[in-house]
Amino acid sequence: MTRSPAVPGGAHILVTGGAGFIGSQLVRDVLSRRDGTRITVLDKLTYAGNRANLAPVESDPEQAARFAFVQGDIADPAVVAPLAAEADTIVNAAAETHVDRSILDPEAFLRTGVIGVHVLLEAVRHETERAADGARPAAPRFLQVSTDEVYGSIPAGRSVETDALGPRSPYAAAKAAGELLVRAYHVTYNIDAVVTRGSNTYGPYQHPEKLIPLFVTNALAGAPLPMYGDGMQVRDWLHVADHAAAIDFVLRHAEPGDVLNVAGGTELPNRDVIGRLLAACGRDWSLVRTVPDRPGHDRRYAMDGGRLAALGWRPQVAFDDGLAATVAWYREHPDWIAQSRTADWDAYYARQYAERLERGVAVDEVR
């Protein structure tokens, strides 16, 4: 049975983390439908948050009139409570998201991924009680944006939603903890909550710390590309427009308590991704260095997307098309790249890569 739409035109959606990569895509896509939907973004503007990602909305008078931006922390109840009171739907896309940073400094991951989710859930619980008391027309729907990393490394087969969770990095453990809190609040307090588990996402506006934007921006600049280990780790690639569309679809069609995999359907070893992006950038393998591996590096993620497909959703963007458009976008946006490399970028890059690149060796394209 399909649930009645949580996001009819005219609804008010609170998107936390809406200045980030996936959250801003959702904001841009929903507001550009011009169906009367209003969106408030709550974003702390960490190094990963970028107001420029929302410029297409803020520079369009019709969309700007249906948009509000609040800078703040999802772990701050005083900020969250009044925003939840005004929202029909809450999408939590706020998180610390880079595995390598979680290995260097885990604490912020736990604060946002566990305490922050708890604060959001308390606000949803309160609003659900208010709805039951007749103080608001309906309880809000809460969607937690989660990840395939909660399943851990999958040597064979594909993860289904009922599989046990086995996170293996501080980032993935924080995401799993957040999800478990969501389930606990749904079961215990009967809040209307759903979870999406997305696979590796790529596209425009992604911070250049992640594999594809890092390697594309380095390749365009003629800088070395640090490939971890043998480069045979497998990821399942999902275009960001598809990821945002899946979130929107799940808001409309999932049952309370549902957990849904959002699989990209393009499983590739990193070496294949690197080969394709080098070709799209007009570069060759001479830029690539194999460097010491990420500790605890998950060898393979792979999800079964059948449950979401049975509801009627499938990804639309073919990987080679999405990659070509992504390379073109980074080529055309040098100012965005420079601006996204905020104050901590040089220090982070040196800490993560200086020694690795010193120990790195040239890679033979042939495996």
Q: Which does 301 bind (CB under 5 to 8 A by kind): ligand NAD, ligand DAU, none?
A: ligand DAU
Instruction: Count CB atoms within 10 A of the CB of residue 60.
Output: 16
Q: Which of 12, 28, 98, 283 binds ligand DAU (CB under 6 A)?
A: 98
200: β partners: 237
Q: 43 contacts which partner out of ligand DAU, ligand NAD, none, CB within 5 to 8 A by kind?
A: ligand NAD
Gap between the Cα atoms of 178 and 171, Å rounded: 11
From the candidates 171, 202, 301, 353, give the one annotated as an active-site residue. Answer: 171
Residue nearest ligand NAD, Cβ-based? 20
The 10 Å Cβ neighbour count of residue 10 is: 11
Residue of the chain from 63, 261, 270, 326 that contacts ligand DAU (CB under 6 A): 270
The entry of ligand DAU, ligand NAD, none near residue 20 (CB within 5 to 8 angstroms by kind) is: ligand NAD
Nearer to ligand DAU, 123 or 323 (CB): 323
Task: Identify residues 100-129 at the interface with ligand DAU (CB under 6 A).
Answer: 100
Q: How far is the CB of 36 from ligand NAD (least distance, A)?
A: 25
The site partner of 233 among ligand NAD, ligand DAU, none (C-beta below 5 to 8 Å per kind) is ligand DAU
Regarding 192 and contact with ligand DAU (CB under 6 A), the answer is no
Confirm whether 96 is a catalytic residue. no
**Considering the complex, what minimum distance in angstroms separates the CB of residue 60 from ligand DAU?**
29
Under rule CB under 6 A, residue 23 binds ligand DAU: no
Q: Does 290 bind ligand DAU (CB under 6 A)?
A: no
For the sheet with 225-228, list strands across it: 225-228, 288-291, 361-362
> Taking CA 311 as the corner, what is the angle to CA 95 and CA 159, rounded to the nearest 5 degrees?
55
Active site residue 148: yes
The yes or no reply on residue 28 touching ligand NAD (CB under 6 A) is: no
Q: How far is the CB of 306 from ligand NAD (least distance, A)?
A: 18
Return d(Cα 148, Cα 312) in angstroms, integer. Answer: 20
258 is known as an active-site residue = no
Indicate the residue among 11 and 22 with the shorter CB distance to ligand NAD: 22
What residues numbered 216-235 form the site for ligand DAU, per CB under 6 A? 226-228, 233, 235
Say whether residue 170 binds ligand NAD (CB under 6 A).
Answer: no
Write out the binding residues for ligand NAD, residues 200-219 only, by CB under 6 A.
200-201, 207
Say which entry of ligand DAU, ligand NAD, none residue 270 contacts (CB below 5 to 8 A, set by partner kind): ligand DAU
Answer yes or no whether residue 261 interacts with ligand DAU by CB under 6 A: no
User: Residues 98, 99, 104, 110: is their CA dihedral positive or negative?
Assistant: positive
Binding mask 161-190 for ligand DAU (x = CB under 6 A): ------------------------------
Between residues 185 and 237, which has the closer beta carbon with respect to ligand NAD?
Answer: 237
Which residues are the active-site residues? 148-149, 171
Tell me which residues touch ligand NAD (CB under 6 A). Answer: 16-17, 19-23, 42-46, 48-49, 73-75, 93-97, 112, 116, 145, 147, 175, 198, 200-201, 207
